[in-house]
């Protein structure tokens, strides 16, 4: 059956998912575009429902989606335009269940790196950090309260589907993070503070967490007031700082490199 009305309940629901209030209410997040949806399915997520424009031609992709979702719905092109968030969209969109892991369920292992994001506001930065974390084999990403919503469509787009490939714990209080770090014996470093050690001198033999601050204001005072070690990335004179996503990526991939070197020596 072809959906032709923009007021169809699935189209209406998809539009609502553009707002955090409804994402939290329904426990769903929106994704648009064939590659992003394919990556999310490949990571093990099943669409709650999938919408495709009547002129969408990739039948094999639709069959693949139908194998993991019982709501694969054909929509007229005019009606589909009401849910498309991108110019020149590909004619395919889906709603996926939000991942809601509990921090208490995560136990970091020896050699794992944890990225802690302190009030990161830019969706593109958060998405890029998650994508790099997944690629570098980071143990987990901890998202402190005050950060951009993980399921903001711009964040999901920037992750390129990797949001399901690394544990991301969201909306965490400062106190909850400190308690978790203490209970699990994690060594904590704060990126960009004074009198730091160079990032490649940080031991990888234990459990390590690095805290990255807000794009405009840096690390919050509550983190700076703690007696945590500090960490730096050497740069040329005259360059004040790196983008938070770039800095996190550099540190994550160097950690991966050094872990691989240790394994190769055994």
Domain residue ranges in the chain: 2-97, 103-265
Give residue-wise pLDDT tens across range 189-224: 999 766 678 888 888 889 999 999 987 888 898 998
Q: Tell me, what's the pLDDT at 235?
A: 82
Provide the whole-model pTM: 0.92
- Could you give the angle at the alpha carbon of 108 between the alpha carbons of 247 and 225, nearest 5°? 55
Q: Which residue has the higher pLDDT, 205 or 167?
A: 167
Give residue-wise pLDDT tens across range 176-190: 999 999 999 999 999
Assign a CATH topology to domain 103-265: Alpha/beta knot (3.40.1280)
62 in Cβ contact with 52 (< 8 Å) = yes
Residue 266 has pLDDT above 70, yes or no: no
Residue 139 has pLDDT above 90, yes or no: yes
Give residue-wise pLDDT tens across range 27-43: 999 999 999 999 999 99
Q: Tell me, what's the pLDDT at 240?
A: 76
2-97 CATH: 3.30.1330.30
Q: Which residue has the higher pLDDT, 134 or 214?
A: 134
């Amino acid at each position: 059956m072809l959906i032709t009305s923009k007021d169809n309940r699935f189209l209406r629901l998809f539009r609502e998912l553009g707002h955090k209030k409804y994402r939290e209410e329904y426990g769903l997040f929106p994704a648009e575009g064939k590659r992003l949806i394919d990556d999310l399915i490949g990571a093990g997520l099943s669409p709650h429902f999938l919408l495709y424009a009547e002129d969408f031609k990739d039948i094999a992709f639709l069959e693949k989606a139908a194998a993991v979702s019982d709501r694969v719905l054909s929509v007229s092109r005019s009606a589909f335009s009401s849910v498309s968030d991108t110019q020149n969209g590909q004619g395919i969109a889906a709603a996926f269940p939000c991942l809601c892991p509990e921090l208490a369920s995560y136990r970091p292992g020896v050699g794992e790196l944890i990225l802690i994001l302190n009030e990161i506001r830019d969706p593109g930065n958060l998405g890029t950090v998650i994508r790099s974390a997944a690629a570098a084999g980071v143990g987990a990403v901890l998202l402190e309260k005050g950060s951009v919503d993980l399921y903001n469509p711009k964040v999901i787009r920037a992750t390129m589907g990797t949001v399901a490939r690394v544990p991301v714990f969201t909306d965490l209080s400062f106190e909850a993070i400190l308690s978790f770090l203490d209970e699990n014996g994690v060594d904590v470093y704060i990126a960009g503070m004074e009198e730091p050690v160079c990032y490649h001198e940080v031991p990888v033999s234990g459990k390590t967490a690095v805290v990255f601050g807000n794009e405009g204001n840096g690390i919050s005072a509550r983190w700076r007031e703690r007696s945590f070690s500090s960490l730096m990335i050497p740069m040329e004179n005259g360059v004040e700082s790196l983008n938070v996503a770039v800095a996190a990526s550099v540190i994550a991939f160097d950690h991966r490199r050094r872990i691989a070197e240790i394994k190769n020596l055994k």
